[in-house]
Structures are given as C-alpha cells and as structure tokens.
Chain A
Amino acid sequence: MAAIVKRRRPSGVQLAEWRDGWLFASPFLLGVLFFWVGPMLYSLFLVTQDWDMLGAPQYIGLGNIRHILEDELVKKSLGNTAYYTFIGVPIQLLIALLLAIALNQDLRGRSFYRTVFYLPAITPAVASAVVWNQIFNADFGVLNNILRLFGHPGIKWLFEPSVAKPAFILMSLWGIGPQMVIFLAGLQNVPAELLEAAQIDGATSWQRFWSVSLPILSPVLFFNFVIGIIGSFQVFTNAFVMTNGGPQNATLFMVLYIYLNAFRFFRMGYAATLAWMLFWIIMFFTFLQFRIGNRLVYYEGKV
C-alpha cells in the first residue's frame, strides 16, 4: 500500500472493540492499581532510604547504590543466579518437552504417567527437603550409591561449593511438571489433519515435528522460556530450606540475599535496591527474548 492512510474517525465497530479491550483488561489494570502500584512505588522509594522496619526510614540518597558496588556478595549472588538460570532453564525445557511429547502419544496409562511426573510439583517443600537430603547423603544416598557402582568415591553434593549448584539444577529437573503440563496444553493446538497430511506426503517423524508441531508450539515454547528465565532468576525456596545459601555462599541466590537483608540484617532499603537491580536485569533479558522471539515465534492468530 503506497498511499498514506488518512486518519478517519474510528468506526463504531472499532470503537466497540476499543471499549471491549479496555473493559476486558480492566480487572488486571484495577488489580495492578490497587495491589501492586502502591507497594511497588514504596519499594522504589525505599531505594533511597535506610529502613530497619522498626523505626522511620532514613534518607541516605545514593548510599544503597554505593553499597552495591562495594558488596562482594552482590557479585557472588548474581553469579550464582546466572549460573543456575542459564544452565538450568534450557535443560529443564528440553526434558519437559521430551516428556510432553512422549505423554501426548496414545499410550496406555498416560494419565497415570502424567500424574507421576507432576507429583513433585505437588509435594510440600518441607517433605521434599527431607527426601532430597537423604538422596544427597554422602554415604547412604542413592546418588552416591549409583556413583560407587561405577567406581567413583562419591560426591559431597550439598557441601562441596563446586557441586552445590549442579545439585540444585538436578533438583529443579525433578520439578518440571508444570513446564510439561504447559507443553501438553500447547501440543493440543496442533491440528491432527496437518500432521496427517504431512505424513501422507512422506514426512518423517522428525520432519513432522520440526515443520508442523514446533511452529505451532512456538508461542508456548516462548512462554515457557520467558517464564523459566524470570522464575529461575528468582530461585529461593530450596536454598532457604536446605542450604541456607551455603556451602560458602555457593547457593546464595539473589532473592535469598535480598531476603536476608530484609529480614535478618534489618536492611530493608538495601534489600529494595537489590530487588530493583534484579528487576532491571530480568527486564533486560526478557526484552532480549521478546526481540528474538518476535522473529522466531509463529503466531497463528495474531492481530
């Protein structure tokens, strides 16, 4: 279209769509207004303050930011978090996808399998912490028993700084139920006819997956990736319950460090500053993903 579109008054139908758009989105907008904006602005305000939650906040200007630059634990926790995220998420997604594909087949008992693979996500953190402690036990734990079968003396999983993070990634693989579920939901969108047509045309299983299923799955894959990165950047619970950030701060993840500053060191202002720093880091990576994603993701019904 070479011609410049003249600005016309929007048609009645268009106005109705605008109105509906705002109307349908209003619960979220109201929710953000009531429940999120206030606390978010307050936490932003805290960046310039020193607050122990007991007295009134004290203004310290850029003091928190200066502290971040000198604090070596900031570098440490960022490094830990980056390691866990960028190595863990791709592995998790790969395994979740494979599982979802496998459990999408017309297998007998797939309801049972799907439930089994989702069970860890349902287990209370209290119980799974105890269980994993036993699994990681250096002398009797199942992992070291397997290693000893191959002649390896065994690893001090959660007590050796160089192994603690891989141990955490291993634990995270146990909890891929949710990603698997999302992939399963996305796989339902792939029309049977298209796959059938491809098969008739002689495509192999791999070709069918790569050319038919994967593009249709791509919005959901993208979702899992974005969510996975955002979520892994905020890993907290296992480190809090099982390792307290150890050994030697190897599992001191950013959100754990923020938590410690807020609730143990009485430095709520500094905690807020760290949180906002994390926010911008996550924002940057998410923005990157959206840029790349817009080129790679196939949106069937995008308007």
Chain B
Amino acid sequence: MVGNKRVSRRELLRGALVVMGGAALAACAPAAPAQPAAPAEGAAQAPAAAGGVIEIRIAAWGDVTDKQVYEAIVADFMKAEPGIKPTVEQYPGGYYEKIQANFAANTPADLIYFQGWSWQPFADKDVLAPLDDYIQQDQAKGFWVDNENYIANTMWQGKTYMSVADTGSVVMFYSKELFDKAGVPYPVDGWSYADFQSAVEKTTFKEGDIQYYGYAQAGGWNGTYLRSLHWMRMNGSLEWDQIVEPKEARWLQDDIINALQYTVVDTIARGLCPSPATIQGGGVTIATGRVALTMEGPWFLAQMQGDKPAREGGVPFDVVEPPLGATGKDETIAEVHGQVLAKASKNPDAAWKLMKYIMTDEGQKRIAEGGRMCGTPDNIEKYWVPIAQEKYKFTNGKAFANAMRTGRNPIFAGAGANYDAVAGQGTPLAVAWDAMLNGTSARDALTEAQPKLQKILDDYWAKKQ
C-alpha cells in the first residue's frame, strides 16, 4: 500500500527528470557572460584576431578593489599591446592555497601577485623564472629600488624574481580628537620613545562610562610580530643574525625583551591598551574613536575617513613616523608586493611586458587611484600621497614613503624556515605572542620560544646540506 503521498511517484519522477535535464543542459552550455559590464570590461572585448592573440593569466590578490584596479590596468595595457590578452584571476578566501594547488598540478597563472616575504620558497624550488635577462635587455633596472629591503624582497640568491607593483608600510596613526580632549600636543616626526610613552599615559582616560585608550595593537591573534618590529629594532637590535636566510635566532636581547614587555604586556596590564578580548568583534579601535595611537598601514586609512569609515563621519587623524630610538630611523615593516613570472608560463615574453607595464607611470597611477601605495618611494610621493591625503583628509603622507626607505621586512627563507613556518599559525612566535597578550612576561615567553625558533632554523640548514 503506498497511496499516502501527496505527489504521486510518477509525477515526482517526471519532475526530477525535467529538472535534471534542464540542469544538465545548462551545465553543458558555455557560461554566459552575465555580469554587469564595468567600463574596463567593455574595452576588454578584444577583437578576436585570426590567430596571433597571446592569452596570459595574471593572478591578483582577492579584493574587490584589486579586481577593479587590475582590470583597468589590463584594459590600458591592451590598448598599448593589442596582440596580448591578459585575463585577471582572483582566488578569494584562499589565495595561497590556490597558488600551491596550481603549482602542484602545473597550471599556475603566468603572472602571480605575491607579498615580498612569501615567494622565496617557490624560487628556492625553482618554479619561478628569473627576470634578469629581461631587465638587462629592456634596461629596466630603474623600476626597482637599490636598497637592502627592496633587494631582499625581490631577489633570491643573486637573481631577481619579483617586480615592484605596490607596497605597504606601517606608521603611527594618531587621533587628533583624543589628543585634543586630553590636551596633549600632537606628535611630530622625530619624536622620542619617552614622548610616546608619556602621550600614551596622558591619552588614556575615562569619560563617564567610556574608557579611552592611549595605545592599541592590531587586535587578535598572531599578527602583532609585524606591528612590533619598530619597537624591537629601534635601538639597533635585530631579532635574527640576518634577515635573508637567517641561521640564528636572537630573541633574548634586552632591547627586544624590554620593548615587547612594555608595548605588548604592560600597556594591557596597566589599562593603557585594550586587550585582544576587548577588541575582538570590533568597536574599540582608533577608527571608532576609542584609541589615541595605533601602528597601522595604508589599508587602514579607509577606516578612518573617506566614504566608508568605521565610524559615521570618520575620525580626524594624522600620521607620524614612529618614535625614534637609538638608530634614529623608522624601523617599521616595509612591505613590498609585486608579480612573479611562473616558469611554467608558455608566454613569458608577453607576461614580462605586462609585468613591466604595471611598474610604469601609467600602471602606477592606476594603482594609486585604487588606493594602493605605489611601488617605489618616489612614486608613492608623486602619485599616491596627493590622492590619499585628499581622500582621507590627512597631511603627513610622506611618512609612508619615508618608512619604505628605511624599514625592513622580517625573514626571507626557503620552505621550512619561511615566514609562515616561523611566525604564522601554530608556530613558536604565535604562541609567544598569545602568551604575552595574555599577561605572560616577555622574558618568559621569549625564553620559551627562542630554542624552538633556533631548532626550525637548524633543521632548515641541515636539510640544505
């Protein structure tokens, strides 16, 4: 007996077949170009030449704005080079996973965007093409910057692998609003560490029910090693014996321990800085008007002002170089990002042309218009600073450019001692930072991390023999 169903089985079967058939047809049909055409895409319908159009793929970082920036660049490029048709690919949510999967299956894009500290293992394993011949042939040396950090970010073992497309440096943001409220004069370039500590204390106060904090670090996990670079290095110490392929971990130096003790542990313990548990979920940052000083990068400007700030109406602010230590220099992180050329590319010449185009003034202007910091410090000042200062209502844009001249990125090594293996998730530095943010003293946390870090380096070098 099977009569109780509302829909008879035959109808169900028929329905299922119809749905399946329709769906199968749809699956077989080529994907229709359905999305609304942005202006750049209109131009992207390149005339299908009867053979001779070279197609290349360029992988861009997975942000909606990057999509627009790179599609604009590609559209411009195709006007200059009609025989080349680049497609922009993005991998939202899992950029590096997708890159690795592509390399494993030998289907990488021709040009791949990388951050300056992540591509070294790939070069070490010989899946990237060195650019030196192209640079020589096109006299393109001027696109790179001759400074230790840029060299470390773009070269590996004497050969150049990465172009310089955009950058990011970290400087000190300060909230004019809170400084005014506390009656403290604004910090100026060249201020000292003592000035900083005094400002932090004075701009921490409670108004009614609301607590305002003098200083805040990037909230949450494992990311604060990069924001702490300046504090650790401002008196001349370096946490490794060398930045490229270090052999020794040197975390137990007094300068480093003291700096981290104050900025990571004490500020939270004394209520000058909100703990990660308070910052979590948003709501207590300089961009919501609750914190006076933060070390942040250009990506943070849009949270402070502009058309989509974190607080209605934005927060009046400006930026300043971090307070100087014994070295007298800004020692913050200076990120360099660019494209690399995959060895598996079938059209390296065409890919090189696009790579070079991105570094030209036209390309860099597009980068700046998209809000990204240009590649070289000169271009940053020329193109990006005016745009950013106007859009985000601040005046000291050159602090970002200067930071690119003196800052340094931490460790570049091959697989096994790469950045992610030393400071990423699950690593001794991540554990050390978690412990410090939770109240463990810097000395204890680092004493535990030091031998483990050394072991990672030792294992790396042992394998290299």
Asked whether the complex places CB atoms of A and B closer than 8 A, the reply is yes
Q: Does B313 count as interface, using CB distance less than 8 angstroms?
A: no
Residues of A within 8 A of B283 (CB): 137, 140
| Residues A244 and B277 in contact in the complex (CB < 8 Å), given A264-B425, A265-B420 | no
| Residues A265 and B421 in contact in the complex (CB < 8 Å), given A52-B121, A54-B125 | yes
Residues of A within 8 A of B277 (CB): 136-139, 156-159
* Contact with B126, one of A55, A134, A264 (Cβ below 8 angstroms): A55
Residues of A within 8 A of B424 (CB): 260, 264
Residues of B within 8 A of A265 (CB): 415-416, 418, 420-421
Query: How many Å lie between the Cα of A260 and that of B420 in the bound state?
Result: 9
Among the stretches A106-114, A199-207, A246-254, the one at the interface with B is: A246-254
B376-401 Cβ-contact flags toward A at 8 Å (1 or 0): 00000000000000000000000000
Q: Does B103 count as interface, using CB distance less than 8 angstroms?
A: yes
Is A53 touching B104 in the complex (CB atoms < 8 A)? yes
Query: How many Å lie between the Cα of A139 and that of B284 in the bound state?
Result: 10
- How close is A273's CB to chain B, nearest CB, in angstroms? 16
Is A249 touching B431 in the complex (CB atoms < 8 A)? yes
* Contact with B275, one of A138, A141, A243, A244 (Cβ below 8 angstroms): A138
| Residues A248 and B426 in contact in the complex (CB < 8 Å), given A138-B280, A156-B277 | no
CB neighbors of B among A198-238 (8 A):
none
CB neighbors of B among A116-168 (8 A):
130, 133-141, 156-161
Query: How many Å lie between the Cα of A138 and that of B220 in the bound state?
Result: 12
Is B222 touching A244 in the complex (CB atoms < 8 A)? yes
Q: Does B30 count as interface, using CB distance less than 8 angstroms?
A: no
Q: Does B221 count as interface, using CB distance less than 8 angstroms?
A: yes
Q: Does A263 count as interface, using CB distance less than 8 angstroms?
A: yes
Is A246 touching B96 in the complex (CB atoms < 8 A)? no
**Which of chain A's residues has its CB closest to B418's CB?**
A266
Residues of B within 8 A of A264 (CB): 96, 420-421, 424-425
Query: How many Å lie between the Cα of A263 and that of B91 in the bound state?
Result: 15
Residues of A within 8 A of B425 (CB): 244-246, 256, 260, 264
Among the stretches B64-72, B172-180, B233-241, B433-441, the one at the interface with A is: B433-441
Q: Does B191 count as interface, using CB distance less than 8 angstroms?
A: no
| Residues A263 and B426 in contact in the complex (CB < 8 Å), given A52-B415, A158-B277 | no
Query: How many Å lie between the Cα of A247 and that of B276 in the bound state?
Result: 11
| Residues A248 and B100 in contact in the complex (CB < 8 Å), given A260-B424, A266-B415 | no
Q: Does B360 count as interface, using CB distance less than 8 angstroms?
A: no
- How close is B225's CB to chain A, nearest CB, in angstroms? 13
Query: How many Å lie between the Cα of A158 and that of B276 in the bound state?
Result: 9
- How close is A260's CB to chain B, nearest CB, in angstroms? 5
Residues of B within 8 A of A84 (CB): none
CB neighbors of A among B7-31 (8 A):
none
Is A54 touching B278 in the complex (CB atoms < 8 A)? no
Query: How many Å lie between the Cα of A195 and that of B188 in the bound state?
Result: 81
Q: Does B282 count as interface, using CB distance less than 8 angstroms?
A: yes
CB neighbors of A among B396-437 (8 A):
415-416, 418, 420-421, 424-426, 430-431, 434-435, 437
Residues of B within 8 A of A98 (CB): none
Chain A residues engaging chain B, CB cutoff 8 angstroms: 52-55, 73, 130, 133-141, 156-161, 243-249, 252, 256-257, 260, 263-267
Pairs A-B, 10 closest by C-beta atoms: A138-B277, A266-B415, A134-B281, A54-B125, A156-B277, A133-B281, A264-B420, A53-B104, A247-B434, A244-B425
Kindly list 17 other residue pairs between chains A and B, CB separation below 8 angstroms, not including A138-B275, A139-B277, A264-B424: A54-B125, A55-B125, A55-B127, A133-B282, A134-B281, A136-B277, A140-B281, A156-B277, A158-B280, A159-B438, A248-B434, A248-B435, A249-B431, A249-B434, A264-B421, A266-B121, A266-B418
Q: What are 15 inter-chain pairs, A to B, with CB distance below 8 A? A: A134-B282, A138-B280, A140-B281, A158-B277, A158-B280, A243-B221, A244-B221, A245-B425, A245-B426, A246-B221, A248-B431, A249-B431, A260-B425, A263-B96, A266-B421
